[in-house]
Amino acid sequence: MKAGIIDYGAGNLRSVANAVHSLGIEPRIVTRGEDFADLTHLILPGVGSFGDSMEELQARSLVDPIREWIAQDRPFFGICVGYQLLFERGEESPGIDGLGIFKGSVGTFPDDGRKIPHMGWNAAQLTEPSDPLWAGIGESPFFYFVHSFFPAPIDKEVIAAETEYEGVRFASAIRRGNLVATQFHPEKSQQAGLRLLKNFLT
Amino acid sequence: MLAKRIIPCLDVTDGRVVKGVNFVDLVDAGDPVECAIAYNEQQADELVFLDITASSDDRATMVDVVRRTAEHCFIPLTVGGGIRSVENMREMLLAGADKVGVNTSAVKEPSLVDAGAKAFGSQCIVVAIDAKREGPGKWGVYTHGGRTPVGLDALEWAKEVWNRGAGEILLTSMDSDGTQAGYDCELTAAISEAVGIPVIASGGAGNLDHMVEVMEKGKADAVLAASIFHFGTHTVGEAKAYFSERGIPVRPVL
Protein backbone atom coordinates (compact mmCIF):
# COMPACT_ATOMS: atom_id res chain seq x y z
CA MET A 1 0.00 0.00 0.00
CA LYS A 2 1.37 3.37 -1.02
CA ALA A 3 -0.73 6.38 -0.10
CA GLY A 4 -0.12 9.72 -1.74
CA ILE A 5 -1.34 13.14 -0.65
CA ILE A 6 -1.61 15.71 -3.41
CA ASP A 7 0.33 18.90 -2.69
CA TYR A 8 -1.18 21.74 -4.67
CA GLY A 9 -0.55 24.49 -2.17
CA ALA A 10 -3.52 23.61 0.10
CA GLY A 11 -2.84 24.74 3.63
CA ASN A 12 -3.54 21.69 5.72
CA LEU A 13 -1.39 19.15 3.95
CA ARG A 14 0.64 18.54 7.09
CA SER A 15 -2.46 17.77 9.18
CA VAL A 16 -3.50 15.11 6.70
CA ALA A 17 0.04 13.72 6.53
CA ASN A 18 0.23 13.63 10.35
CA ALA A 19 -3.07 11.76 10.56
CA VAL A 20 -2.00 9.16 7.99
CA HIS A 21 1.38 8.84 9.71
CA SER A 22 -0.36 8.16 13.05
CA LEU A 23 -1.97 5.10 11.44
CA GLY A 24 1.49 3.64 10.88
CA ILE A 25 1.49 4.53 7.20
CA GLU A 26 4.15 6.81 5.73
CA PRO A 27 2.36 8.97 3.15
CA ARG A 28 4.06 10.33 0.06
CA ILE A 29 3.55 13.95 -0.81
CA VAL A 30 2.95 14.10 -4.55
CA THR A 31 3.15 17.20 -6.67
CA ARG A 32 3.05 15.83 -10.23
CA GLY A 33 0.74 13.49 -12.13
CA GLU A 34 3.73 11.27 -13.01
CA ASP A 35 4.13 10.55 -9.29
CA PHE A 36 0.70 8.85 -9.18
CA ALA A 37 1.93 5.79 -11.08
CA ASP A 38 3.25 3.75 -8.18
CA LEU A 39 0.58 4.80 -5.68
CA THR A 40 -2.33 2.66 -4.55
CA HIS A 41 -4.32 5.36 -2.70
CA LEU A 42 -4.70 9.06 -3.43
CA ILE A 43 -5.87 11.80 -1.06
CA LEU A 44 -6.90 15.28 -2.24
CA PRO A 45 -6.97 17.59 0.78
CA GLY A 46 -8.38 21.07 0.65
CA VAL A 47 -8.63 24.36 2.45
CA GLY A 48 -9.32 27.57 0.60
CA SER A 49 -11.63 28.64 -2.18
CA PHE A 50 -13.04 26.50 -4.99
CA GLY A 51 -11.67 28.78 -7.71
CA ASP A 52 -8.15 29.18 -6.30
CA SER A 53 -7.85 25.45 -5.69
CA MET A 54 -9.04 24.56 -9.18
CA GLU A 55 -6.61 27.07 -10.70
CA GLU A 56 -3.77 25.55 -8.68
CA LEU A 57 -4.65 22.05 -9.93
CA GLN A 58 -4.66 23.37 -13.49
CA ALA A 59 -1.38 25.26 -13.09
CA ARG A 60 0.26 22.07 -11.84
CA SER A 61 -1.24 19.92 -14.64
CA LEU A 62 -2.99 17.73 -12.07
CA VAL A 63 -6.52 17.87 -13.53
CA ASP A 64 -6.15 15.10 -16.13
CA PRO A 65 -4.14 12.73 -13.89
CA ILE A 66 -6.82 13.05 -11.15
CA ARG A 67 -9.63 12.48 -13.67
CA GLU A 68 -7.85 9.40 -15.03
CA TRP A 69 -7.20 8.03 -11.55
CA ILE A 70 -10.89 8.34 -10.67
CA ALA A 71 -12.03 6.97 -14.06
CA GLN A 72 -10.06 3.82 -13.28
CA ASP A 73 -11.87 3.62 -9.92
CA ARG A 74 -8.61 3.63 -8.01
CA PRO A 75 -8.96 4.45 -4.28
CA PHE A 76 -9.47 8.21 -3.88
CA PHE A 77 -10.33 10.37 -0.87
CA GLY A 78 -11.36 14.02 -1.28
CA ILE A 79 -11.50 16.24 1.80
CA CYS A 80 -13.49 19.50 2.15
CA VAL A 81 -12.57 21.59 -0.92
CA GLY A 82 -11.09 18.33 -2.28
CA TYR A 83 -14.68 17.02 -2.14
CA GLN A 84 -16.26 20.15 -3.61
CA LEU A 85 -13.87 20.15 -6.59
CA LEU A 86 -15.33 16.83 -7.77
CA PHE A 87 -18.48 18.65 -8.88
CA GLU A 88 -19.23 20.71 -11.98
CA ARG A 89 -19.14 24.22 -10.59
CA GLY A 90 -19.08 26.31 -7.44
CA GLU A 91 -21.16 29.33 -6.47
CA GLU A 92 -18.08 30.66 -4.67
CA SER A 93 -16.17 31.03 -7.92
CA PRO A 94 -18.51 31.60 -10.88
CA GLY A 95 -17.01 30.85 -14.27
CA ILE A 96 -14.50 28.30 -13.00
CA ASP A 97 -15.32 24.68 -13.79
CA GLY A 98 -14.69 21.96 -11.26
CA LEU A 99 -13.44 18.48 -12.10
CA GLY A 100 -16.99 17.49 -13.08
CA ILE A 101 -16.70 13.90 -11.86
CA PHE A 102 -20.17 14.23 -10.34
CA LYS A 103 -23.15 16.19 -11.60
CA GLY A 104 -24.20 19.06 -9.39
CA SER A 105 -22.91 22.35 -8.05
CA VAL A 106 -21.44 23.63 -4.83
CA GLY A 107 -23.65 26.15 -3.04
CA THR A 108 -23.96 27.77 0.34
CA PHE A 109 -26.45 27.96 3.21
CA PRO A 110 -29.46 30.26 2.85
CA ASP A 111 -28.86 33.68 4.35
CA ASP A 112 -31.40 33.51 7.16
CA GLY A 113 -29.46 34.09 10.33
CA ARG A 114 -27.31 31.02 10.91
CA LYS A 115 -23.64 31.54 11.59
CA ILE A 116 -21.27 31.01 8.70
CA PRO A 117 -18.90 29.18 8.55
CA HIS A 118 -20.54 26.01 9.81
CA MET A 119 -17.79 25.41 12.33
CA GLY A 120 -17.43 22.64 14.87
CA TRP A 121 -18.44 19.05 15.52
CA ASN A 122 -21.60 17.77 13.92
CA ALA A 123 -23.17 14.36 13.45
CA ALA A 124 -23.20 12.41 10.20
CA GLN A 125 -26.27 10.27 9.52
CA LEU A 126 -24.89 7.33 7.58
CA THR A 127 -26.83 6.02 4.58
CA GLU A 128 -25.38 2.53 5.00
CA PRO A 129 -23.90 2.08 8.48
CA SER A 130 -22.90 -1.50 7.60
CA ASP A 131 -20.58 -0.30 4.83
CA PRO A 132 -17.01 -1.40 5.80
CA LEU A 133 -15.99 2.22 5.22
CA TRP A 134 -17.73 3.08 8.52
CA ALA A 135 -16.51 0.03 10.46
CA GLY A 136 -15.84 0.84 14.11
CA ILE A 137 -17.26 4.34 13.85
CA GLY A 138 -20.85 3.95 15.13
CA GLU A 139 -24.13 4.91 13.51
CA SER A 140 -24.13 8.64 14.16
CA PRO A 141 -20.51 9.70 14.44
CA PHE A 142 -19.40 13.30 15.06
CA PHE A 143 -16.88 14.87 12.70
CA TYR A 144 -15.22 18.29 12.59
CA PHE A 145 -16.59 20.69 9.98
CA VAL A 146 -15.42 24.12 8.92
CA HIS A 147 -16.94 25.34 5.68
CA SER A 148 -19.32 27.83 4.13
CA PHE A 149 -20.07 25.84 0.95
CA PHE A 150 -21.14 22.26 0.21
CA PRO A 151 -21.97 20.23 -2.89
CA ALA A 152 -25.49 19.15 -3.84
CA PRO A 153 -25.05 15.88 -5.77
CA ILE A 154 -27.71 15.37 -8.48
CA ASP A 155 -27.24 11.61 -8.21
CA LYS A 156 -28.57 10.87 -4.71
CA GLU A 157 -27.25 7.31 -4.92
CA VAL A 158 -23.73 8.53 -4.16
CA ILE A 159 -24.67 10.14 -0.83
CA ALA A 160 -23.00 8.19 1.98
CA ALA A 161 -23.81 10.53 4.87
CA GLU A 162 -25.92 13.57 5.58
CA THR A 163 -25.52 16.30 8.16
CA GLU A 164 -27.98 18.90 9.38
CA TYR A 165 -27.05 22.44 10.31
CA GLU A 166 -29.91 24.56 11.62
CA GLY A 167 -32.54 23.14 9.33
CA VAL A 168 -30.36 22.57 6.27
CA ARG A 169 -29.53 18.97 5.46
CA PHE A 170 -26.60 18.41 3.12
CA ALA A 171 -24.50 15.56 1.76
CA SER A 172 -21.55 15.46 4.15
CA ALA A 173 -19.99 12.39 2.49
CA ILE A 174 -20.26 10.64 -0.86
CA ARG A 175 -19.10 7.24 -2.00
CA ARG A 176 -18.90 5.61 -5.42
CA GLY A 177 -16.84 2.46 -5.82
CA ASN A 178 -13.40 3.20 -4.42
CA LEU A 179 -14.00 6.93 -4.25
CA VAL A 180 -14.85 8.59 -0.94
CA ALA A 181 -15.18 12.30 -0.30
CA THR A 182 -16.22 14.20 2.80
CA GLN A 183 -17.14 17.78 3.62
CA PHE A 184 -15.78 17.27 7.15
CA HIS A 185 -12.12 16.93 8.05
CA PRO A 186 -11.29 13.34 9.07
CA GLU A 187 -7.74 14.47 9.90
CA LYS A 188 -9.19 16.75 12.62
CA SER A 189 -11.94 14.41 13.80
CA GLN A 190 -10.00 12.38 16.30
CA GLN A 191 -10.97 8.69 16.71
CA ALA A 192 -13.86 8.75 14.22
CA GLY A 193 -11.84 10.55 11.56
CA LEU A 194 -8.69 8.49 11.98
CA ARG A 195 -10.73 5.29 11.82
CA LEU A 196 -12.38 6.45 8.60
CA LEU A 197 -8.99 7.16 7.05
CA LYS A 198 -7.77 3.78 8.25
CA ASN A 199 -10.80 2.03 6.75
CA PHE A 200 -10.13 3.78 3.47
CA LEU A 201 -6.43 2.96 3.48
CA THR A 202 -6.67 -0.71 4.46
CA MET B 1 -27.10 19.19 15.27
CA LEU B 2 -23.97 21.28 15.65
CA ALA B 3 -22.38 20.60 19.04
CA LYS B 4 -21.27 23.31 21.44
CA ARG B 5 -17.50 23.12 21.80
CA ILE B 6 -15.39 22.84 24.93
CA ILE B 7 -11.94 24.33 24.49
CA PRO B 8 -9.20 24.13 27.11
CA CYS B 9 -6.70 26.98 26.88
CA LEU B 10 -3.03 26.59 27.71
CA ASP B 11 -1.10 29.77 28.54
CA VAL B 12 2.47 29.32 27.43
CA THR B 13 5.65 31.33 27.97
CA ASP B 14 9.15 30.27 26.93
CA GLY B 15 7.70 26.97 25.76
CA ARG B 16 6.28 26.12 29.20
CA VAL B 17 2.70 26.09 30.44
CA VAL B 18 2.25 28.90 32.96
CA LYS B 19 1.06 27.74 36.39
CA GLY B 20 1.26 24.16 35.15
CA VAL B 21 -1.51 21.70 34.86
CA ASN B 22 -2.44 19.55 37.76
CA PHE B 23 -3.18 16.19 36.15
CA VAL B 24 -2.04 13.24 38.20
CA ASP B 25 -0.76 11.27 35.25
CA LEU B 26 1.53 13.86 33.69
CA VAL B 27 5.27 13.39 34.04
CA ASP B 28 5.97 17.03 33.23
CA ALA B 29 2.94 19.23 33.81
CA GLY B 30 4.72 22.23 32.38
CA ASP B 31 5.26 20.74 28.94
CA PRO B 32 2.59 22.15 26.61
CA VAL B 33 2.75 19.14 24.30
CA GLU B 34 2.15 16.74 27.16
CA CYS B 35 -0.75 18.86 28.42
CA ALA B 36 -2.22 19.03 24.92
CA ILE B 37 -2.04 15.26 24.61
CA ALA B 38 -3.82 14.88 27.96
CA TYR B 39 -6.68 17.10 26.74
CA ASN B 40 -6.73 15.25 23.44
CA GLU B 41 -7.24 12.04 25.42
CA GLN B 42 -10.05 13.69 27.38
CA GLN B 43 -11.62 14.42 23.99
CA ALA B 44 -11.62 18.17 24.21
CA ASP B 45 -13.19 19.59 21.04
CA GLU B 46 -10.35 21.96 20.24
CA LEU B 47 -7.25 23.36 21.91
CA VAL B 48 -5.89 26.87 22.24
CA PHE B 49 -2.27 27.75 22.93
CA LEU B 50 -1.82 31.32 24.07
CA ASP B 51 1.73 32.63 24.06
CA ILE B 52 1.49 35.21 26.83
CA THR B 53 5.00 36.63 26.53
CA ALA B 54 4.98 36.64 22.76
CA SER B 55 8.50 37.76 21.99
CA SER B 56 10.03 36.70 18.71
CA ASP B 57 12.20 34.12 20.53
CA ASP B 58 9.03 32.68 21.97
CA ARG B 59 7.50 32.39 18.55
CA ALA B 60 10.24 30.06 17.35
CA THR B 61 9.74 27.94 20.47
CA MET B 62 5.98 27.99 19.89
CA VAL B 63 6.38 26.78 16.31
CA ASP B 64 8.18 23.74 17.67
CA VAL B 65 5.46 23.16 20.30
CA VAL B 66 2.78 23.40 17.60
CA ARG B 67 4.64 21.02 15.32
CA ARG B 68 5.02 18.38 18.03
CA THR B 69 1.43 18.80 19.21
CA ALA B 70 0.04 18.42 15.70
CA GLU B 71 1.80 15.07 15.37
CA HIS B 72 -0.21 13.68 18.28
CA CYS B 73 -3.46 15.61 18.56
CA PHE B 74 -6.09 15.26 15.85
CA ILE B 75 -8.40 18.05 16.92
CA PRO B 76 -8.29 21.67 15.77
CA LEU B 77 -5.50 23.72 17.27
CA THR B 78 -5.49 27.52 17.59
CA VAL B 79 -2.37 29.50 18.40
CA GLY B 80 -2.44 33.10 19.58
CA GLY B 81 -0.02 35.61 21.05
CA GLY B 82 2.66 37.47 19.16
CA ILE B 83 1.15 36.94 15.70
CA ARG B 84 1.92 40.24 14.01
CA SER B 85 2.01 39.52 10.29
CA VAL B 86 0.73 37.26 7.54
CA GLU B 87 4.19 35.67 7.63
CA ASN B 88 3.79 34.84 11.34
CA MET B 89 0.41 33.29 10.54
CA ARG B 90 1.87 31.20 7.75
CA GLU B 91 4.62 29.94 10.04
CA MET B 92 2.08 28.68 12.61
CA LEU B 93 -0.27 27.17 10.02
CA LEU B 94 2.58 25.36 8.29
CA ALA B 95 3.71 23.99 11.65
CA GLY B 96 0.27 22.40 12.05
CA ALA B 97 -1.98 25.03 13.65
CA ASP B 98 -5.47 25.15 12.15
CA LYS B 99 -6.24 28.70 13.22
CA VAL B 100 -4.32 31.70 14.43
CA GLY B 101 -5.52 34.21 16.98
CA VAL B 102 -4.80 37.93 16.72
CA ASN B 103 -5.62 40.57 19.30
CA THR B 104 -3.37 43.62 19.83
CA SER B 105 -1.90 43.35 16.34
CA ALA B 106 -5.40 43.49 14.81
CA VAL B 107 -6.30 46.55 16.90
CA LYS B 108 -3.11 48.27 15.77
CA GLU B 109 -3.47 47.21 12.15
CA PRO B 110 -7.04 46.05 11.34
CA SER B 111 -6.11 45.20 7.73
CA LEU B 112 -4.13 42.24 9.13
CA VAL B 113 -7.51 40.50 9.52
CA ASP B 114 -8.37 41.07 5.85
CA ALA B 115 -4.90 39.98 4.73
CA GLY B 116 -4.97 36.81 6.84
CA ALA B 117 -8.46 35.87 5.64
CA LYS B 118 -7.48 36.46 2.05
CA ALA B 119 -4.29 34.41 2.32
CA PHE B 120 -5.58 31.45 4.34
CA GLY B 121 -9.38 31.69 4.43
CA SER B 122 -11.64 33.14 7.11
CA GLN B 123 -11.78 29.82 8.94
CA CYS B 124 -8.12 30.31 9.96
CA ILE B 125 -8.52 33.75 11.50
CA VAL B 126 -9.70 34.07 15.09
CA VAL B 127 -9.87 37.59 16.47
CA ALA B 128 -9.48 37.73 20.24
CA ILE B 129 -11.28 40.62 21.88
CA ASP B 130 -10.64 41.62 25.50
CA ALA B 131 -13.65 43.63 26.61
CA LYS B 132 -14.31 45.57 29.79
CA ARG B 133 -17.61 47.03 30.93
CA GLU B 134 -17.72 50.82 30.66
CA GLY B 135 -21.40 51.41 31.30
CA PRO B 136 -24.80 49.75 30.98
CA GLY B 137 -24.77 47.66 27.79
CA LYS B 138 -21.43 49.16 26.81
CA TRP B 139 -18.02 47.51 26.71
CA GLY B 140 -14.67 48.87 25.60
CA VAL B 141 -11.83 47.02 23.91
CA TYR B 142 -8.64 46.67 25.96
CA THR B 143 -5.19 45.33 25.19
CA HIS B 144 -2.19 44.35 27.31
CA GLY B 145 -4.16 42.11 29.63
CA GLY B 146 -6.94 44.60 30.16
CA ARG B 147 -4.70 47.50 31.19
CA THR B 148 -4.86 49.62 28.07
CA PRO B 149 -8.15 50.96 26.68
CA VAL B 150 -7.88 51.41 22.93
CA GLY B 151 -10.92 53.61 22.46
CA LEU B 152 -13.00 51.09 20.55
CA ASP B 153 -16.51 49.88 21.36
CA ALA B 154 -16.46 46.08 21.67
CA LEU B 155 -19.66 45.58 19.66
CA GLU B 156 -18.49 47.86 16.86
CA TRP B 157 -15.07 46.21 16.82
CA ALA B 158 -16.62 42.73 16.69
CA LYS B 159 -18.76 43.74 13.70
CA GLU B 160 -15.77 45.30 12.01
CA VAL B 161 -13.56 42.21 12.28
CA TRP B 162 -16.44 40.04 11.08
CA ASN B 163 -16.78 42.28 8.02
CA ARG B 164 -13.05 42.17 7.49
CA GLY B 165 -13.15 38.37 7.24
CA ALA B 166 -12.56 36.97 10.72
CA GLY B 167 -13.96 33.44 11.00
CA GLU B 168 -14.48 33.43 14.73
CA ILE B 169 -14.31 35.68 17.79
CA LEU B 170 -12.64 34.68 21.03
CA LEU B 171 -14.28 37.00 23.53
CA THR B 172 -12.78 37.51 26.98
CA SER B 173 -14.51 39.55 29.65
CA MET B 174 -11.79 41.41 31.54
CA ASP B 175 -14.25 41.93 34.39
CA SER B 176 -14.86 38.20 34.81
CA ASP B 177 -11.46 36.80 33.85
CA GLY B 178 -9.76 35.11 36.78
CA THR B 179 -12.73 35.57 39.14
CA GLN B 180 -14.18 32.07 38.66
CA ALA B 181 -17.53 33.81 39.30
CA GLY B 182 -19.05 33.11 35.88
CA TYR B 183 -18.78 34.43 32.34
CA ASP B 184 -20.23 37.82 31.37
CA CYS B 185 -23.38 36.50 29.69
CA GLU B 186 -24.70 39.92 28.77
CA LEU B 187 -21.52 40.84 26.91
CA THR B 188 -21.34 37.44 25.20
CA ALA B 189 -24.97 37.56 24.04
CA ALA B 190 -24.56 41.12 22.76
CA ILE B 191 -21.53 40.18 20.66
CA SER B 192 -22.92 36.81 19.55
CA GLU B 193 -26.10 38.47 18.27
CA ALA B 194 -24.21 41.26 16.56
CA VAL B 195 -22.05 39.06 14.33
CA GLY B 196 -22.66 36.17 11.92
CA ILE B 197 -19.64 34.14 13.00
CA PRO B 198 -19.14 31.83 16.01
CA VAL B 199 -18.23 33.33 19.37
CA ILE B 200 -16.09 31.55 21.95
CA ALA B 201 -16.80 32.77 25.50
CA SER B 202 -13.85 33.17 27.82
CA GLY B 203 -13.16 34.47 31.30
CA GLY B 204 -14.78 33.54 34.57
CA ALA B 205 -15.53 29.83 34.46
CA GLY B 206 -15.64 28.57 38.05
CA ASN B 207 -18.03 25.68 37.64
CA LEU B 208 -19.96 23.79 34.98
CA ASP B 209 -23.14 25.79 35.56
CA HIS B 210 -21.27 28.90 34.45
CA MET B 211 -20.57 27.19 31.14
CA VAL B 212 -24.19 26.12 30.73
CA GLU B 213 -25.26 29.68 31.48
CA VAL B 214 -23.01 31.31 28.89
CA MET B 215 -24.06 28.83 26.20
CA GLU B 216 -27.77 29.35 26.97
CA LYS B 217 -28.14 32.97 28.09
CA GLY B 218 -24.89 34.16 26.52
CA LYS B 219 -25.58 32.38 23.19
CA ALA B 220 -21.94 31.30 23.02
CA ASP B 221 -21.00 28.73 20.38
CA ALA B 222 -18.08 27.45 22.41
CA VAL B 223 -16.58 27.87 25.86
CA LEU B 224 -12.93 28.39 26.66
CA ALA B 225 -11.66 27.49 30.10
CA ALA B 226 -8.34 27.05 31.83
CA SER B 227 -8.25 26.61 35.62
CA ILE B 228 -11.39 24.51 35.89
CA PHE B 229 -9.73 21.83 33.73
CA HIS B 230 -6.06 22.44 34.58
CA PHE B 231 -6.50 21.80 38.27
CA GLY B 232 -8.55 18.70 37.76
CA THR B 233 -11.77 20.24 39.18
CA HIS B 234 -13.53 18.71 36.19
CA THR B 235 -12.49 16.70 33.19
CA VAL B 236 -13.73 17.59 29.73
CA GLY B 237 -15.74 14.36 29.85
CA GLU B 238 -17.53 15.38 33.06
CA ALA B 239 -18.36 18.73 31.52
CA LYS B 240 -19.83 17.06 28.43
CA ALA B 241 -21.91 14.63 30.49
CA TYR B 242 -23.25 17.56 32.51
CA PHE B 243 -24.14 19.60 29.41
CA SER B 244 -25.86 16.60 27.85
CA GLU B 245 -28.08 16.19 30.91
CA ARG B 246 -29.09 19.82 30.51
CA GLY B 247 -29.98 19.40 26.86
CA ILE B 248 -26.95 21.16 25.40
CA PRO B 249 -25.70 19.33 22.29
CA VAL B 250 -22.12 18.10 22.69
CA ARG B 251 -19.87 15.70 20.84
CA PRO B 252 -20.19 12.57 23.00
CA VAL B 253 -17.05 11.16 24.58
CA LEU B 254 -16.25 7.78 23.05
pLDDT, one tens digit for every residue, chain B (254 residues):
999 999 999 999 888 998 767 766 777 778 999 999 999 999 999 999 999 886 667 788 999 999 999 999 999 999 999 999 999 999 999 899 999 999 999 999 999 999 999 888 899 999 999 999 999 999 999 987 778 899 999 999 999 999 999 999 999 999 999 888 999 999 999 999 999 999 999 999 999 999 999 999 999 999 999 889 988 889 999 999 999 999 999 999 98
Which of these, B152, B67, B46, lies nearest to B108 by C-alpha position? B152
Q: DSSP secondary structure string, A87-142?
A: EEEETTSTT-B---SEEEEEEE--SSS--SSEEEEEE-EES-TTSGGGTTS-SS-E
**Who has greater pLDDT, B55 or A69?**
A69
The CATH code of the domain at A3-95+103-201 is 3.40.50.880
pLDDT at res. A121: 98
Q: Which helix (H) or strand (E) holds A83?
A: helix A81-84
Percent of chain A whose pLDDT exceeds 90: 89
pLDDT at res. A11: 63
Q: What is the mean pLDDT of chain A?
A: 95
Which of these, A19, A157, A127, A125, lies nearest to A77 by C-alpha position? A19
State pTM to two decimals.
0.96
* Subunit contact A144:B76, Cβ cutoff 8 A: yes
Catalytic residue ranges of A = 80, 185, 187
Pick from A140, A146, A184, A189 the residue to mutate for testing the B interface (most B CBs within 10 Å).
Answer: A146
**Measured between beta carbons, which residues in chain A are less than 8 angstroms from residue B95?**
14
* Subunit contact A47:B2, Cβ cutoff 8 A: no
A109: pLDDT strictly greater than 90:
yes
* Subunit contact B71:A192, Cβ cutoff 8 A: no
pLDDT at res. B178: 86
Residues of B with CB under 8 A from a CB of A: 1-5, 40, 43, 45, 70-72, 74-76, 93-96, 98, 120-124, 167-168, 196-198, 221-222, 251-252, 254
Over range A175-184, report the average pLDDT: 98
Pairs of residues, one from chain A and one from chain B, whose beta carbons lie less than 8 Å apart? 93
